[in-house]
Amino acid sequence: MNEPVHMVDEELIRSCLSGDRNAQKVLFDKYTRRMMGICMRYAPSREEAEDMLQEGWIKVFRNLHSFRFEGSAEGWIKRIMVNTCLETLRKNKKMANQVELDDVYESVYTEINSADFMSAKELLKLIHKLPSGYRTVFNLFAIEGYSHKEIAAMLSITENTSKSQYSRARMHLQRMLLLENA
């Protein structure tokens, strides 16, 4: 099932490499919505997510020659996106280890519609309410599926920090969800 997709991607990327602007656009159109979804999870706002997306795509096209056609193109692009997001967050000094704001929590409980089913949009809202550091670790661990060890290396924090940030984030989300469904 995956085979033809990869074949298509491979051809696409080869024409991108030869500098075909149209092929670049096709590749962009194919994955950009999904990548935007990733950026939205990491960025505190839509504007910043768009900046990350843009930055990430430029990196993708600049480094396309280093794609080895081994894994899926999407996975490769996704990894670049996530790294771009982390880099941007680091640049903006909104990184994990700086967040220790237990007071922020209160504002978190407002304006969530109570419904058993929660749309991605609403969950995204919850994610955005997390402090940036929690959000980053939660994204990396729960959704991207990195290990705490990997996360520690990526964010240059200790493994324990990653674990504690994650459990706090999780607790946080849980409380929000409970409150939501109460």
Partner 1 sequence: MREQNIEKLFKDTFSNFEADVNPSVWSNIEQGLPASPQHIPGSSPVAKPSGFFGKISLNTIVLVAAISATIIGTTLYFSSQKPTSQNILAQQVQAQPQVMKDNSIAVSKAAPVTSLSNAPVGGSKNVAEKQTAAKAKEKVYLNQPPRQAPSEAKTENVSNANSVQVSVEKPSSPEPVNVVAPQHTSSSLQKMAIENNQQQASKTSALPSVENPVATAAPSNKVPATHEATPGSEEQFHFFVPNVFTPNGDGLNDNLKPVSNYNVKEYELTIFDRYGFEIFKSKDIDFSWDGKLKNGEEATEAVYVYIIKLVDFNDEEHNYMGYVALLK
Binding mask 103-142 for partner 1 (x = CB under 8 A): ---------------x-x--xx--x----------x---x
Q: Output the DSSP codes for the chain.
A: -HHHHHHHHHHHHHHHHTT-HHHHHHHHHHHHHHHHHHHHHHSSSHHHHHHHHHHHHHHHHHTGGG--SSS-HHHHHHHHHHHHHHHHHHHTT--GGG---GGGHHHHTSS----SS--HHHHHHHHHHS-HHHHHHHIIIIIS---HHHHHHHHT--HHHHHHHHHHHHHHHHHHHHHHH-
Residue from 7, 8, 10, 25 that binds partner 1 (CB under 8 A)?
25
- Binding of partner 1 by 36 (CB under 8 A): yes
Q: Work out how close the CB of 61 gets to partner 1 at its nearest, in angstroms, rounded to a whole number.
A: 5
- Binding of partner 1 by 92 (CB under 8 A): yes
- Binding of partner 1 by 63 (CB under 8 A): no
- Binding of partner 1 by 23 (CB under 8 A): no
Residue from 14, 34, 65, 149 that binds partner 1 (CB under 8 A)?
34
